[in-house]
């Protein structure tokens, strides 16, 4: 550990010297006094170029890249045995909105990306309806990172093994609001027995962060009568984020 810390300190010092030199060069070229940039925080760059070693049993303290590496090598539950790819999550960090589903399906397992099948495309339309998209200000993840066989609900022990990864993701993403889609996501993160029907329609909290619960996109595709309550829930998200929406019937 001491060697990597010395290398990180040396690299940070070299980067700071380079920035100071650039300031001096700008002053000479412009024949004018240039106010120095001062001390810079290179921690993000250092974490990319010279990441600290991670204790495989310690998730707290990891950055997003380290957390993803831990998740991709995880063998803490039986789901690892049949997975194609770990579906870690993706999006903006920090994010205005974090969307959390239950787990990857066939398309997600094949691509390594969350919500890319029919339900994912439908979710994209939801985000578009409130002027958001998965490439801007949104982060998408699931309760479990590996696909359950035949897309079944994850078992209690599987959720327990995977949930620490998600909780650390939430800490790193720092969402302004969380949208939980589906009963599995709601029960797992909030630790309650109720389904979507009892939880939706109001603001809940996860460690101080506002939470809105709604139906899973796949459930709505099977029953379009759920479309109206989902729109009501999305309007709550938009209102909290101060996103102005046109009036709709």
Tokens of 79: 């789901």
**pTM score of the predicted model:** 0.78
CA distance 7 to 52: 11
Indicate the class that CATH gives domain 54-240. alpha beta
Neighbouring C-beta atoms of residue 23, cutoff 10 Å? 14
CA distance 193 to 190: 9
From first to last of its 249 residues, the chain has per-residue pLDDT tens of: 467 768 878 888 888 888 888 878 777 787 766 565 567 777 777 777 877 665 555 688 889 999 999 999 999 999 999 999 999 999 999 999 999 999 999 999 999 999 999 999 999 999 999 999 999 999 999 999 999 999 999 999 999 999 999 999 999 999 999 999 999 999 999 999 999 999 999 999 999 999 999 999 999 999 999 999 999 999 999 999 999 998 754
Tokens of 54: 């991670």
CA distance 56 to 74: 9
């Amino acid at each position: 550990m001491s060697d990597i810390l010395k290398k990180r300190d040396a690299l940070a010092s070299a980067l700071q010297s380079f920035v100071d030199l650039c300031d001096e060069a700008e002053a000479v070229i412009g024949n004018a006094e240039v106010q120095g940039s001062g001390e810079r925080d290179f921690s993000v760059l250092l974490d990319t170029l010279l990441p600290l070693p991670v204790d495989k049993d310690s998730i707290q303290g990891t950055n997003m890249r380290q957390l993803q590496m831990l998740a991709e090598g995880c063998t803490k539950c039986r789901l690892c045995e049949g997975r194609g790819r770990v579906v870690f999550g993706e999006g903006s960090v920090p994010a205005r909105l974090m969307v959390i589903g239950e787990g990857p399906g066939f398309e997600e397992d094949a691509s390594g990306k969350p919500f890319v099948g029919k339900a994912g495309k439908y979710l994209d339309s939801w985000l578009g309806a409130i002027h958001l998209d998965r490439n801007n200000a949104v982060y998408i993840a699931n309760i479990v990172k590996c696909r359950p066989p035949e897309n079944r609900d994850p078992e209690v022990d599987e959720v327990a093994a995977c949930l620490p990864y998600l909780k650390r993701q939430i800490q790193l993403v720092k969402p302004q609001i969380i949208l939980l889609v589906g009963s599995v996501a709601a029960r797992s993160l909030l630790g309650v027995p109720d389904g979507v029907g009892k939880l939706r329609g109001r603001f809940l909290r996860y460690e101080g962060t506002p939470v809105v619960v709604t139906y899973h996109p796949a459930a709505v595709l099977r029953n379009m009568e759920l479309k109206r309550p989902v729109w009501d829930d999305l309007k709550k998200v938009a209102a909290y984020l101060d996103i102005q929406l046109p009036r709709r019937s």
